[in-house]
Each structure stands twice: as structure tokens, then as C-alpha cells.
Chain A
Amino acid sequence: MDIHFTAEELAFRDEVRAFLESKLPQDLAEKVRLGKHLSKADHLRWQAIQNEKGWYATHWPVAFGGTGWGPVQKHIYEEECARMGAPRTIPFGVSMVAPVLIKFGTPQQQDHYLPRILDGTDWWCQGYSEPGAGSDLASLKTRAVRDGDHYIVNGQKTWTTLGQHANMIFCLVRTDPQAQKQRGISFLLIDMSSPGISVRPIITLDGEHEVNEVFFDSVQVPVENLVGEENHGWTCAKYLLTYERTGLAGIGPSKAALAHLKRIAGRQMSEGKPLIEDPLFRAQVAEVEMQLMATEMSTLRILAAAKEGGVPGAESSILKVKGTEIRQAISHLLRKVIGPYALPFLQEEMDLDYPGQALHTDYSAALAGQYFNLRKLSIFGGSNEIQKNIVSKTILEL
């Protein structure tokens, strides 16, 4: 038994650090650290730098242009990226539709789409949730009817993250309304510029435009855009959900947020001393750090098992629940650091090139909004209650 990284893994970490130190643009890292808005161009800029190094598709096989990394290398890369303030990878193309195409797609689909994901030609979004299908995803109603060489799609998707930037959407649609719930679903790739598609923003409680509604009004989709077999889309969806769930413990982002918390609680004064010296506040920071330590260790144990060829199964559901609770707890403490300055709603200060003087500090405008925004963590990717159902069924066999 050895809980430390191997010499090889440490050498890899050094290589990642060297790459990030030389190639991660400082203005982007600054935006991430201060919680400022990131534009589509910002994301694409960082993607291009990673892709040039061959490190964008961290979990694709080498044959498709990926890194071929194992679970521990991926973990190290994600943690170092978060630590240095790299923009998060938008997962819908590279981490979600791509693994499905690699597993279930035709060679033509792979040849067409995968390079376009790598070089940023396509920006993908996810068409899963519907107004009536959230945790009960399989009750989705968006209909696709075969008409010659096309499907005609009608319906509505919702919570479509960054759909406003996307030119492609992968959708779960109902192709056989007679079949049992999960059986009549298909996985379709749809061009967002198709006639009949409209996108409407949903403004979230933090005032941000991150998610959207997407409407389909008799949209024509070529049959070659079907992935896998007709009515077997649920298989793709389930496969993708296991991909989506790993890494959801968010150890790297939580460690970065905790470091930020300590930094700003060291600057905020209270009773003539830095707030971090206040015993009550300090103990709360200490407690969340201990929880994070345990969750990181649990993550490493699961990764080590995966390295031996196991697939992270329902254990990753436990990590998702714990990891998101911790991330939310940190965001709660971050908000508390700035006291009354959590109150002013200063959206204009969320841009890095805001010309005025910050009302309080350059990081304070983002904190209350982030706290509310991160409530999403325990809802998306399978709500934490759904994760508990999964653990109950698969690990406990209840």
C-alpha cells in the first residue's frame, strides 16, 4: 500500500506544471481567480493552447487524437489546471458527445465530428432535460418522426448550458412513443442553424445567462445524424452519464476555492484582525478543509482502483454528493468573508476590463452570485438525491 503518487506520476505533474506556467494566459487565470465573466473567445483561446499541446481531449484514446491518459493522470491534470486558474473545460463536446461517438458512432461520424471538437470548429450543447423530464429523464417527450432521409423533430429542451454559443446540439428524442419509456428513445445530432430551432435565454437567480430553452418546430435532421441504433439512445445516455459523473467530486476546483477563501479571509479585517484569525470563522474553514482532505483521499482510492482496470461505478455517486456539498460549503464561507459587501449587485464589475474602481475589492462582486450559482451543483449531473438512489440500488442492493 502506498498513498503517494509514483515517481512517474510526479514527473507527469511537473510536466503539467511547466506547461501551465508557460502557456496558461495570465489574463485568463486572473479572470478565473476573481470570478469574472469568461467569453466564448476566452474558452476557445485556452482550448486552442491545450489542443496544440495535444492535451485537450484528456480521456480520448490516442487513435482519435486524445491523450490516452489513465485516471490518475487525468486527475492530476484537472487538479493542476484548477490550481493555476485555468478556465474549466466546457464538457459537452469533448467529454460528453465525443465519448459517445467513439463508443457508438460510425467511422464517418467519428471522422467528421471529432476533429471539429478538437479544433473548436463545433461548440456542442446538450439536449437532455425537458420541462417535464428532469431527474426522470426517460419521460422526455421531444418527438422525432422518420420522413424519408430525415427525422422531423418537434418539442422543447431546457437547461441547455451555454446553448447560446453552440452550433451543434446532441439530443435525446422519442422515436417510438408506443415502446416502454427507455426503449423508444434515440440519440440525435442536430445542427443549431437548422430552420425551426429557436433559443431563448433563461436568466438564473444570480442574474447570469448560462442556460437556455431550445425549441424545435418541425426541424429536419438527416438520418445519418442518428448515433447508434434507432430506439437505443438510452444506452448512449447511460454511458454518457457515467462519464459525466466522474470528476464531479470537483477536488481541484474545491482546493482552488479553498485557497482563495484563505487568501481573502486573510485580507478582510474584523475586530482589528484578519478574519482568518477569528476562532469561529477559522474553525469553519478548518472543518471544510478536513472534509475536503477525506474526499480527496476517497477520490484517490477510487482512481487507484480504476487504474487497475476497474471502472469507477456507483462510488463516484458518493463522491459527487460529498464533493458538491463541500464546494457549496466553501462558496457559503466565501460569501461570508466580505460581510455587507455581499449585498451590492454589481454585474458591471464582473468584467475584467471594468473601467471603474471596484466598490470593495476586485473579487467581491462575484462571491454572492457564485454562491447562488453553485446551488446547481447538487441538482445537475443527476441530483444528489438521484445519486443516493443509485448508491442504494447498486452498492447497498436495497
Chain B
Amino acid sequence: MDFKLTEEQQMLQDTAARLVRDAYSFEAREQYASGEEGFSRTFWQQLGELGLTAVPFPQELGGFGGGGVDTMLLMTELGRGLCLEPYLQSVIYAGGLIMQLGSPAQQQDLLPRVASGQLLLATAFQEPQSHYHLNDVQTRADQDPQGWTLTGKKSVVVGGHQAGLILVSARVSGDSRDDLGIGLFLVDPQAAGVERRTYQTVDGRKGCDLYLDKVRVSAADVLGEPAQVYSALRYQQGRAIAAQCAEALGSMEEACRLTLDYLKTRQQFGVAIGQFQVLQHRMVDMRTELEQATSMAILAAYCADQADSDERSRTLAAAKFIVTRAARNIAEQAIQLHGGIGMTKEYALAHHAKRLVMLSHEFGDDDHHLKAYSALLDVA
């Protein structure tokens, strides 16, 4: 047992922290968020030039060969800066799916471009009725001699407004909630029949809903076999969850730091409000939540890249549950301890609070993962 970082990991952490510190002042973030793309293309290029967008990919595909801990270190720093770039969606989740399901030709074609940051991917696996269940797919994929046509609606595709390609799940056979019979398709958002309704998200990012009307996809743009897709989606969502836990950790640390600073400086009744025991204990509760969340983010990072197993699924569900609960508690307490100033848009804390609450709406909330853990409970 040893929780020390290797020299390389320390370097990775330092590099990412420095980069985020330099590029992501609160004012700069506001500017990126209000721009057309909704993030900083310059920052994204910097991540690419320094090899950070290549971290989880194997070396032969232009990657760095990093594991869960490396991803965790990087995501924590991105979370601390509330960075808007779709690292998690493009590099971790979609990139991971191509690594797992893509043919050698697809991998050779796509992954070096994803690893360099040149190509942005997005994932479209949710539908209005699916409520976090990856097997609940009604979007249809029909085969004909020329390939496939996709018809349906995909919900809340974070980063989908800017993606070069979008990974879309669609039903090729079976009933609407069967685990089997789900196909995975690489969809060009510029293709005929694709319509995007773009919006800003509550936590300052951008996304879109995707309307597909007989969109043609060639056989070369099908990822994997329908029999493998659902388990690959589950597996890669596990990696995304581990990365999201780390991202949340950075944001929680920052929210706690800002709140503690505030308790030490804000004067009321002639003293710093941190002198009041009721506020001290709340701050200790936040710190305790952070401690628990840190432990689970580390556990999640550890099992993210392990072979699929009930043990892995349990740990990731537990991590998402604990981190989601901690994130919401910290967000709510941080606003409360700040008082009125915590409610204002021009203060960074409110933006951390929004991100920390909103992350429960991606990859399943605490109830979803409590249920998942409960189903896998080891009662033997």
C-alpha cells in the first residue's frame, strides 16, 4: 500500500495544474463560455501539444499509455479550473469505445487524431425516455445494401455542437430495452438528415439534442458488433465515471478552499464568522465529505481499467454514489456558508456549485447508482 505518486505522475500533475492556472482564471472562463465554441480552442491545442489529450491511449496509436491514476490527476486539475473542454466525452469515453470496439482500420484512422486533439468526438447514448439506462434505445438503425439509416432522437449530447463525429447508439434488433441488438455508429453531424438543437448547459458548457431522420451511415462507420455494444457502453461509461469523480474532486477541493477562506475573512458581529462553532462544524462536515470522495475517486481510478467484473461495477457505482452525494452536499453547504455572495453569478463559487450538482445528471445520479450497487450487492 502506497499512495505516493511516481515522478512521471508528479510531473503530469504539475503540468496540468500550471496549464489550468495560467489559462483558466475565472474571467477567462467566462469569456470562453460565452464564445461560439463554448470552450478555449487555444487551451485545447495546448493540451494536445503537451500530449495531455493522448494520456489514455496506447503508444502505438500516438498515445502516452497512461492508466486510471494518470487520468485522475489530469481530470482533478481540469475540475479545479472548471474547464469547459470536452476531454471526458471525447478522449475518455468516445476514445475508449473506439479502442474497445473499433477495427484496426478505424483505430488507425481515428485515434491518432483524437489523441492529438485534432478530432473532437461526442457520445449520444441517451434518449428522452432512457433516464440513464444505456440499454433503453428506441432510435432505429435499418440495414439495406448501401449500409444503414438512422432515425430517432438522442438527448443531451454534451459537446455535440462542436464534435467532428458523434457516436450514436441505435437499435438494430429486439425490444426497446434489450441489452442485445444495439448498434454503435459514427455519425457525421454535417450529414443529411442530422439536425442539432444547441444550447448552453446550466454548468456553463454546451451541448445539443440530436434529431436523426433517415441519416445514412456506411458499413465502415459501424463500431463493433451489436452483441458487444451494450457491455462496451457500460464498461466505457465506468471509465467516464472514474474520470468524472476525479473532475468533481478538483471542483470540491476548490469549493472547500474558497469557503474556508471566506470563513476566515468575512466579519460579522465583530469577528470572523469562522469563529462560530456551528459554521466550523459545517466546514468540518464538508471536509469529511471531501475525504470520503477522495478515497472513492482513487478507488475508481484504480479499477477503471481493470477487466469487467461485478467487483469493478460495484466499486464504480459506489464511487459515483459517494461522490455525487458529497458533491451536492459540498455545493449546498458552500453556498450557505457564503451567504448572499454565494448566490451571485460573478463569483467563482456559484459556478463550482452548479457543476457539482449538475454532474449527477451525467452517467446516472445517486439513486441510479444506489440501485445498481444494490442489485450487485454481495450477500453470500
Enumerate chain A interface residues (CB-CB to B < 8 A): 1-6, 9, 72, 262, 266, 276, 279, 282-283, 285-287, 289-291, 293-295, 297-298, 300-301, 303-305, 307, 315, 318, 321-322, 385, 388-389, 391-392, 395-398
Contacts and interface: CB of A to CB of B under 8 A. Distances in A.
Contacts of B3: 1, 3, 301, 304-305
The 7 closest A-B pairs by CB, nearest first: A297-B295, A392-B280, A286-B374, A294-B292, A290-B318, A398-B274, A388-B284
A291 B289 CA distance: 10
B1 A396 contact: no
A297 B296 contact: yes
B63 to A, nearest CB: 20
Contact of A294 (B260, B263, B322): B322
B307 interface: no
Given A283-B370, A397-B264, A398-B263, 8 more contacts: A1-B4, A3-B1, A266-B379, A294-B292, A294-B295, A298-B291, A396-B280, A398-B280
Contacts of A397: 264
B374 A279 contact: yes
Contacts of B33: none
B1 A388 contact: no
A293 B296 contact: yes
A395 B1 contact: no
Contacts of B284: 318, 388, 391-392, 396
B287 A301 contact: no
A301 B291 CA distance: 10
Contact of A322 (B69, B280, B292): B292
Contacts of B288: 318, 321-322, 391
B11 interface: no
B2 interface: yes
A198 to B, nearest CB: 38
Contacts of B211: none
A300 B292 contact: no
Interface in B276-329: 277, 280-281, 283-285, 287-288, 291-296, 298-299, 302, 315, 318, 321-322
Contacts of B374: 279, 282-283, 285-286
A2 B295 contact: no
A312 to B, nearest CB: 13
B5 interface: yes
A297 B3 CA distance: 11
B373 A300 contact: no
A304 B280 contact: no
11 contacts: A1-B4, A3-B1, A6-B1, A262-B377, A286-B377, A318-B287, A322-B291, A322-B292, A389-B277, A392-B284, A397-B264
Interface string B14-28: 000000000000000
B361 interface: no
A321 B280 CA distance: 15
B288 to A, nearest CB: 5
A82 B122 CA distance: 49
Given A283-B374, A389-B277, A395-B287, A297 B299 contact: yes
B59 interface: no
B237 to A, nearest CB: 18
A301 to B, nearest CB: 6
Nearest to B273: A398
A289 B373 CA distance: 10
A286 B317 CA distance: 11
A307 B1 CA distance: 9
Given A262-B379, A298-B291, A300-B1, A3 B299 contact: yes
B106 interface: no
Contacts of B377: 262, 276, 282, 285-286, 289
Contacts of A262: 377, 379
Interface in B220-271: 260, 263-264
B280 A388 contact: yes
A286 B370 contact: yes
Contacts of B299: 3, 293, 297
A395 B373 CA distance: 33
B287 A396 contact: yes
A392 B2 contact: no
B149 to A, nearest CB: 40
A1 B9 contact: yes
Contacts of B293: 294
Contacts of B295: 294-295, 297-298, 301
Given A297-B295, A298-B291, A396-B280, A2 B260 contact: no
A317 B200 CA distance: 42
A189 to B, nearest CB: 36
A80 B295 CA distance: 22
B283 A392 contact: yes
A392 B281 contact: yes
Contacts of B296: 293-294, 297
